[in-house]
Amino acid sequence: MLNDMKKVTIYHNNRCSKSREALSILQQENLEIEIIEYLKESLSYDKIKNIYNLLDEEDKSKFIRVKEKEYDNITNDIIDSVVKFPKLLERPIIILGNKAIIARPMDKLYNLLKEEK
């Protein structure tokens, strides 16, 4: 039933195999999925800050992709850096309820889905 469906948001990059894998897992669940292709849609400072604040401390430390060339341009304000260089955002980020995770490894996504059942 539609009313029983939980809404999940995925910050997605279709060129990323982990992001595609996470989306596939979500599509197998009884969830309403909002797909945000963050490289195509501009994310506001407040939106990125909200995502960051929903992450646990471990995932906060992995929020930025350090191997991207844009990493050399980050400032002390990592939220602002992601606004300016969205490619720096680690992926995939999944938000379900009031919790966000970086789904690496995929076991983190399975655990999140289990917690929400």
Domains of the chain: residue spans and CATH: 2-116 (3.40.30.10)
pTM recorded for the entire structure? 0.91
Could you give the CA distance from residue 51 to residue 69 in angstroms, rounded to a whole number?
A: 23
From the list 23, 73, 78, the residue with the least C-alpha distance to 53 is 78
pLDDT for 2 equals: 39
- Would you call 67 helix, strand, or coil by DSSP? coil
pLDDT for 30 equals: 80
* pLDDT of 3 above 60: no
Q: Residues 113, 29: contact at Cβ < 8 Å? A: yes
Token output for 98: 């009031």
- Active-site residue, selected from the candidate residues 6, 9, 16, 21: 16
Give residue-wise pLDDT tens across range 38-95. 999 999 999 999 999 999 999 999 999 999 999 998 989 999 999 999 999 999 999 9
* pLDDT of 1 above 70: no
pLDDT for 4 equals: 57
Give residue-wise pLDDT tens across range 18-28. 999 999 999 99
Q: Would residue 29 show up in a list of annotated catalytic residues for this protein?
A: no
CB atoms within 10 A of CB 78: 17
